[in-house]
């Protein structure tokens, strides 16, 4: 069983991805919905977590941004007060019941709820979970590790490591893994580098379906048609594009489902091979388990798109 908990949504200008008017008209207009607002020339960025019940485990994938965080340069994620925990409860899951927390990568919007504020201290939100982090990704973001090739980019994520990763490490709840890593009989963590150096995906193979939880390997279905399109902020753009191409080929060949971190409705879908590449087939409408009061920032489109 797969559930979804939404934290927030906002609009980004489509030209953050592409200003190719012909491509937009030919390829993106048919998607419509949250993938393209033609009047505003924008698309919806949806912040959400996935919950998988499999092999007797409850697995939480990418626990969003979290409340009360300072995010210099990230106005969308600054000082949030969302009912994400109520959304988790609405999905029938208490924090104590989470067995595995899987962070595809350690950007602020994928590990924020790893911890919560308790009397001015950041403590693990999921006290009985094993948190799976890619060892390469921890080294990427640990200010003490000194392996970051881009200190400026490291700077704005510095608080994220201190607030959402270090307390988990200190509590002994983290397992640093080298993908491929077998999480459970049905779940395999795999390397998918590029967006960040240590970015991972999670592959689910059950009797019912094959599904890939792909994090930020892509942000918009336009990238399925044109894997070169991208938002700012990749650690290694060339590798991100290569990762997209190989991932899309596998997903199409296996007739698998993809569950990206930021797609708006229907939030998931399939990829099919075409004569000259790939296309996106939106999934069936997905049960909405967003908490009442989920933040929306739809009246305001920043032309200055942060690195996400």
Q: Based on CB atoms, which residue is closest to Zn ion, 110 or 116?
A: 110
**CA separation for the pair 301, 43 (Å, rounded):** 10
**CA separation for the pair 15, 219 (Å, rounded):** 13
In angstroms, the Cα distances linking 33 to 30, 263, 305 are 9, 11, 21
- Residues 173 and 129: beta-carbon distance below 8 Å: yes
Q: Based on CB atoms, which residue is closest to Zn ion, 224 or 252?
A: 224
CB of 260 vs Zn ion, minimal distance in Å: 9
CB of 276 vs Zn ion, minimal distance in Å: 29
Each residue 244-263 as x (binds Zn ion by CB under 5 A) or -, in order, gives --------------------
Region from 30-38, 90-98, 163-171, 209-217 binding Zn ion, contact rule CB under 5 A: 209-217
In angstroms, the Cα distances linking 104 to 41, 134, 190 are 29, 8, 10
Q: Which two tokens stand for residue 174?
A: 């983290």
CB of 13 vs Zn ion, minimal distance in Å: 17
Q: Based on CB atoms, which residue is closest to Zn ion, 186 or 196?
A: 196
DSSP H/E element including 248: helix 237-253
Q: 276: alpha, beta or left, given left = phi > 0 and alpha = psi -120 to 50?
A: alpha
Instruction: Give the count of alpha carbons within 13 A of 294, CB side only.
Output: 21
Q: Based on CB atoms, which residue is closest to Zn ion, 54 or 224?
A: 224
- What is the size of the binding site for Zn ion (CB under 5 A)? 2
CB of 108 vs Zn ion, minimal distance in Å: 8
For the stretch 210-213, contacts whose Cβ atoms lie closer than 8 Å and that sit 24 or more positions apart, written own/partner, are 210/254, 210/255, 210/256, 210/257, 211/2, 211/256, 211/257, 211/258, 211/259, 211/268, 212/247, 212/250, 212/251, 212/256, 212/257, 212/258, 212/259, 213/50, 213/52, 213/61, 213/62, 213/102, 213/104, 213/259
CB of 227 vs Zn ion, minimal distance in Å: 18
**CA separation for the pair 207, 284 (Å, rounded):** 19
- Residues 245 and 13: beta-carbon distance below 8 Å: no
CB of 308 vs Zn ion, minimal distance in Å: 5
Q: Based on CB atoms, which residue is closest to Zn ion, 252 or 261?
A: 261
Region from 118-126, 157-165, 167-175, 216-224 binding Zn ion, contact rule CB under 5 A: 216-224
DSSP H/E element including 4: strand 2-13
Q: Based on CB atoms, which residue is closest to Zn ion, 163 or 216?
A: 216
CB of 208 vs Zn ion, minimal distance in Å: 27
Interface with Zn ion (CB under 5 A), residue from 216, 221, 251, 289: 216
Interface with Zn ion (CB under 5 A), residue from 3, 6, 7, 109: 109
Q: Based on CB atoms, which residue is closest to Zn ion, 137 or 216?
A: 216
Does the footprint of Zn ion cover residue 7 (CB under 5 A)?
no
CB of 193 vs Zn ion, minimal distance in Å: 15
Q: Based on CB atoms, which residue is closest to Zn ion, 11 or 216?
A: 216
Task: Catalog residues that contact Zn ion under the rule CB under 5 A.
Answer: 109, 216
């Amino acid at each position: 069983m797969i559930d979804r908990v939404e934290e927030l949504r906002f609009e980004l200008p489509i030209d953050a991805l592409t200003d190719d008017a012909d491509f937009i008209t030919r390829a993106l207009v048919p998607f419509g919905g949250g993938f393209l607002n033609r009047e505003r020339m924008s698309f919806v960025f949806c912040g959400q977590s996935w919950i998988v019940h499999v092999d007797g485990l409850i697995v939480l994938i990418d626990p969003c941004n979290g409340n009360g965080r300072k995010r210099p340069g990230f106005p969308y994620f600054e000082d949030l007060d969302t009912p994400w925990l109520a959304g988790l409860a609405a999905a029938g899951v208490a924090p104590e019941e989470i067995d595995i927390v899987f962070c595809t990568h350690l950007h602020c919007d994928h590990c924020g709820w790893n911890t919560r504020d308790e009397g001015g201290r950041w403590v693990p939100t999921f006290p009985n979970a094993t948190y799976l982090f890619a060892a390469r990704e921890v080294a990427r973001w640990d200010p003490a590790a000194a392996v970051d090739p881009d200190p400026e980019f490291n700077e704005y994520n510095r608080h994220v490591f201190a607030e959402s990763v270090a307390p988990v490490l200190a509590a002994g709840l983290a397992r640093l893994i080298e993908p491929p890593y077998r999480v459970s009989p049905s779940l395999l963590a795999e390397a998918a580098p590029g967006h960040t150096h240590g970015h991972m995906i999670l592959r689910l193979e059950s009797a019912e379906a094959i599904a890939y939880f792909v994090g930020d390997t892509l942000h918009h279905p336009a990238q399925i048609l044109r894997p070169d399109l991208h938002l700012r902020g990749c650690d290694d753009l060339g590798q991100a594009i290569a990762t997209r191409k190989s991932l899309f080929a596998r997903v199409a060949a296996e007739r698998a489902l993809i569950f990206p971190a930021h797609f708006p409705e229907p939030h998931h879908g399939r990829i099919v091979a075409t004569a000259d590449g790939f296309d996106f087939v939106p999934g069936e409408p997905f049960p909405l388990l967003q908490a009442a009061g989920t933040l929306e920032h739809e009246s305001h489109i920043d032309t200055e798109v942060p690195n996400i």
